[in-house]
Amino acid sequence: MDADYVIVGSGSGGAALGYRLAEAGRKVVIIEHGGTDWGPFIQMPAALSYPMNMGRYDWGMSTEPEPNLGGRRLVTPRGKVIGGSSSINGMVYVRGHARDFDHWAAQGATGWAYADVLPYFKRQENWHGNHDGADAAWRGHAGPLHVTRGPRKNPLFEHFIAAGAAAGYPVTMDYNGEQQEGFGPMEATIWKGRRWSVANAYLRPALKRGNLQILRGLARKVVIEAGRAVGVEYERDGVIKVARARAEVVLSASSLNTPKLLMLSGIGDAEHLQAHGIEVVAHRPGVGANLQDHLEIYMQFAAQEPVTLFKYWNLWGKLTVGAQWLFTRSGLGASNQFEACGFIRSDAGVEYPDIQYHFLPIAVRYDGKAAAEGHGFQVHTGPMRSKSRGTVTLRSADPKENPVIRFNYMSHPDDWAEFRKVVRLTREIFTQAPMAGHVKHEIQPGAGVQSDAEIDAFIRDHAESAYHPCGTARMGRADDPMAVVDPEARVIGVEGLRVADSSIFPRVTNGNLNGPSIMVGEKVADHILGRRLAPENVAPWINPNWKTSQR
């Protein structure tokens, strides 16, 4: 099939982009290295710990030894499958805070303020949450992406929210609406008991239209002739071919693989490219720089009574849950179990939340290993706006090699102060009456971890990535030497080439990145098509006492 547009990557940004271009009558080819997303490990929400640990679905990348985390190498899963990381993620849906996008605009991403992106969030959503009394006017109701809330049947969910309120924090009925700050129900890309990935939401409907095609293969580089991107070189079954684009090429390969492809194509820091024998097409030192993530810890507590999900954490329990899901798409298997959450500010003078909570009614790790204690529960928590910055660089000029990933986690002194606050503020929440009766004792960090030095040691040994990498092809003004794309998402210095994924984020947004990554695909499609949804100038709720009080 000949193509107007060739997109690399079928994940959150690429799928939404491809859907909108095809909807507008353009011919689109998406190059995807991964295979089918069919099967219970991906489609069953409760099985989320499996696909991100399976080589079949994951690129298998990890960091270099992180100097401030005791030299540990952290895994950085990225989806190598139809739907990309939306097919292996935790399915949590967070737009980000309004101020995140206002900050983007202030940093040179003109036209990406909250007023500009809100209409695109609304266009992508089909929201099913207004039974909680939230404000439906802030949400979308006809988009491809179903957004739902778990049933919160386990009493621990409501007790966690109540504990936040008892500690003096607000309750918010919709953190994706007017008010992010506070404790409340969490939202997920789950629909009718299935993971509602971008493969289900965008790709399958677009494939039925007939003018979008998915091409299996490993993208090797962008083909650039006379300063213009004209196609993508890819390898399939040992044969190297070129998919040519009449109009444009768009990279949506993830914030780890997109900078790698830019560099392999001769776009990046000239000295780094020359060291790998790559001819320089455009000297853009920002390619692979500005790497950011959310780092988090699991604060775990042993439970007084057996109300947690631990009773299903055995072969028979898992078989029962799995069978119920297979036959009815209901029960515990139909939820990611992240059904309650919180967003709080760490201090007076912080304008909007900078700490996030995912509450889980079992003490377990992302790799599926349960805490030795049996019945327990946990929160995943960490600071939202780390000042540490890392890099993605080439390991070699071989497209089959994963890039060199250095997040430089905890390299800024403020990160340590913020993380200590996270630990102490979290402990205070769990001593509030609604949760105190459930807590037998703290499993980790543990009661013995109290001083700054003890907390720092715990963070060094136990902090994990929340798997929210971004920022490696930063959007900014065309005259900004460290920007990689302009506010139209066009790669500066090359014609006919854009980026549409989390690489272009100037700064990491609050919360999980799947929602904003889809928004980028939606919005870049309109930039390509020369149209725009009208901005919506609504004011988000900001705590009126933020200058003087922490809550």
How far apart CA 437 and CA 491 sit, in angstroms, is: 55
- In sequence order, the 6+-apart residues with CB closer than 8 A to the CB of 539 are none
- The answer to whether 468 is a known catalytic residue is yes
Burial (CB < 10 A; 0-12, 13-18, 19+), residue 173, is middle
Burial (CB < 10 A; 0-12, 13-18, 19+), residue 256, is buried
How far apart CA 541 and CA 537 sit, in angstroms, is: 13
- Count of all residues that appear for the chain in the document: 551
Q: What values do phi and psi take at 495, rounded to 5?
A: -85, 150
Question: What is the 3-state secondary structure of 140-196?
Answer: CECCCEEEEECCCCCHHHHHHHHHHHHCCCCECCCCCCCCCCEEEECEECEECCEEC
Given CA atoms 472, 228, 220, 22 in this order, what sign does their dihedral have? positive
C-alpha pair distances (Å), 55 with each of 50, 61, 81, 523: 10, 10, 10, 32
Cβ atoms of 533 and 526 closer than 8 Å: yes
Strand partners, 262: none
Alpha helices by DSSP H, listed for 277-384, are: 315-328
How far apart CA 461 and CA 449 sit, in angstroms, is: 13
- In sequence order, the 6+-apart residues with CB closer than 8 A to the CB of 259 are 268, 287, 288, 392, 403, 472, 473, 503
Cβ atoms of 296 and 409 closer than 8 Å: no
Grouping H, G, I as helix, E, B as strand and the rest as coil, residue 491 is: strand
The upper half-sphere exposure of residue 173, i.e. CA atoms within 13 Å in the direction of its Cβ, equals 11
Cβ atoms of 178 and 172 closer than 8 Å: no
Grouping H, G, I as helix, E, B as strand and the rest as coil, residue 243 is: strand
C-alpha pair distances (Å), 60 with each of 56, 57, 248, 265, 399: 9, 9, 29, 22, 15
Given CA atoms 479, 219, 2, 56 in this order, what sign does their dihedral have? negative
Cβ atoms of 465 and 215 closer than 8 Å: no
Choosing from 159, 380, 468, 527, which is the catalytic residue?
A: 468
The upper half-sphere exposure of residue 425, i.e. CA atoms within 13 Å in the direction of its Cβ, equals 24
Q: How open is the CA angle 141-145-148, to the nearest 5 degrees? A: 75
How far apart CA 147 and CA 140 sit, in angstroms, is: 10
Instruction: Give the start-end residues of each E strand in 471-516.
Output: 497-499
* Residues labelled catalytic: 468
